[in-house]
Structure 1
Amino acid sequence: MPDRTLGGTLDGADWTVLLHPGERLLWQGRAIGAGRPDLPVRFWTMLGTILSLGSLLFLLIAFLGRSQPDFVVGFGGIGVVALVIGLTCRILPRRLQIARLRRCRYALTDRRMLVHDGSALRAWDITPDLDLTIHPEEPGSVIVDPPWLDNRPPKPQREAGFIGIAGAGRIAAMIRDIQSRQTDRTETGS
């Protein structure tokens, strides 16, 4: 499927069409794994676990009252429905996160971090005050931390940045190097 924003296909993205004059492309890649489950996935997994375990109580009551058909139908039906919903809540969000990350393409320039998720482009200027969280395991992630507004933490959201990439520590070191060069330029310019 052609991707008009990047001027190529999703597998062979042409990042050069998005570069500003004088900007250099340092690295490009894609997610090779799912990375860690983000906050929404963890929430749904927890809810699914609670529903699944709660359904066992209803199924146990239905089993103990098996001599009374109304018990089996009533409590067994509630137990089965809760179990199905619980397992769906545990499995589906993670699968959707993996599918979303398979569409993602990443690029690092000497000025910006670029993420294309198959439909939209997000970019973060690499400045000395850009906060990053690094998950160095393989595949790892370089997460852009959202800024606090008025001394309040940011609202829970999906993690953003380079998620599920190979060599996350090396990419983070490149970003830190760009940040330190910008800090040196700012200090010598003032």
Structure 2
Amino acid sequence: MNVQDQAPQSGWEGLLDPGETILWQGRPGARIRLGIGDILLMVFGTFFAGFALVWMALVSGVGGLFWVFGMIHFMVGLGIICWPLLGRPYLRRHTWYTLTDTRAFIATELPLKGKQLKSYAITPDNQLTLEDGTPGSVIFASEWRRGKKGSYETRIGFHDIDEARKVYGLLRGIQRGLT
């Protein structure tokens, strides 16, 4: 949606710099999309949950309540299976994107985390990547994060949007100073 000629929208007061203009706002699609990585993750979760289920069945034959400890692993396995089907679409339904003439904003509202708003300056130095398709994605930044096995790079952008080409063009215009 092009909102360039409108006054600052409700909720944006104090967040935008003087003279900063909203060029585009959108949301990622919330459909379930499974890639090969998701399918492999779900297969792993199936084996994880299945192993826990077999373990619980074998231990329950011995007697006592020791089998209950297998429920933790079974539930983790179910969570791994359900994440691509329920978790990712939930995250996308609670994410909003805004592009101004100087910055890109990503807003989320999640349980336990609350509301978060991150902004990323758009400069000529930003490496832009268009992942064309319907939906498509436009990547404009990256962050290094720490994980259990070291650091890894996270690609930041407007993911799973229907207007990826349009947004990519707007970002290129910002970089060239055309907005």
TM over 0.5: yes
> CA separation in 1, counterparts of 2:108 and 2:122?
20
- The 8 Å contact of residues 51 and 86 in structure 1, kept in 2 or not, is answered as yes
* Corresponding position of 2:129: 133
> CA separation in 2, counterparts of 1:24 and 1:174?
12
Give the TM-score normalised by structure 1: 0.59
CA shift, 1:157, in A, is: 5.6
* SS of residue paired to 2:20: coil
> CA separation in 1, counterparts of 2:10 and 2:92?
15
* SS of residue paired to 2:174: helix
* SS of residue paired to 1:160: strand
* SS of residue paired to 1:18: coil
* SS of residue paired to 1:155: strand
* CA distance 1:105–1:86, change in 2 (3 Å): same
Q: Aligned residues: percent identity?
A: 29
Consecutive unaligned residues of structure 1, counting only runs of 5 or more, are: 1-11, 60-68, 149-153, 183-190
CA shift, 1:163, in A, is: 1.7
- Considering fraction of residues, name the structure with more helix: 1
* Corresponding position of 1:187: none
Consecutive unaligned residues of structure 2, counting only runs of 5 or more, are: 1-8, 110-114, 145-149
> CA separation in 1, counterparts of 2:125 and 2:31?
28
The within-5 A match list for 1:11-30 is 14-15=11-12, 17-30=14-27
CA shift, 1:124, in A, is: 0.6
* CA distance 1:56–1:18, change in 2 (3 Å): closer
- The 8 Å contact of residues 104 and 120 in structure 2, kept in 1 or not, is answered as yes
The within-5 A match list for 1:83-94 is 85-94=76-85
Relative contact order: is structure 1 or structure 2 higher (C-alpha 8 Å, sep ≥ 6)? 1
* SS of residue paired to 2:142: coil
* CA distance 1:90–1:100, change in 2 (3 Å): same
* Corresponding position of 2:46: 52
- The 8 Å contact of residues 132 and 143 in structure 1, kept in 2 or not, is answered as yes
Give the TM-score normalised by structure 2: 0.62
Deviations 1:54-80 (A, max 9, x none): 777999xxxxxxxxx97xx69xx9xx9
* CA distance 1:84–1:104, change in 2 (3 Å): closer
- The 8 Å contact of residues 140 and 168 in structure 1, kept in 2 or not, is answered as yes
> CA separation in 2, counterparts of 1:155 and 1:174?
32
What is the root-mean-square deviation of aligned Cα atoms in Å?
A: 4.1
- The 8 Å contact of residues 48 and 85 in structure 1, kept in 2 or not, is answered as no
- State the aligned residue count: 153
Corresponding position: 1:31 with 2:55: no
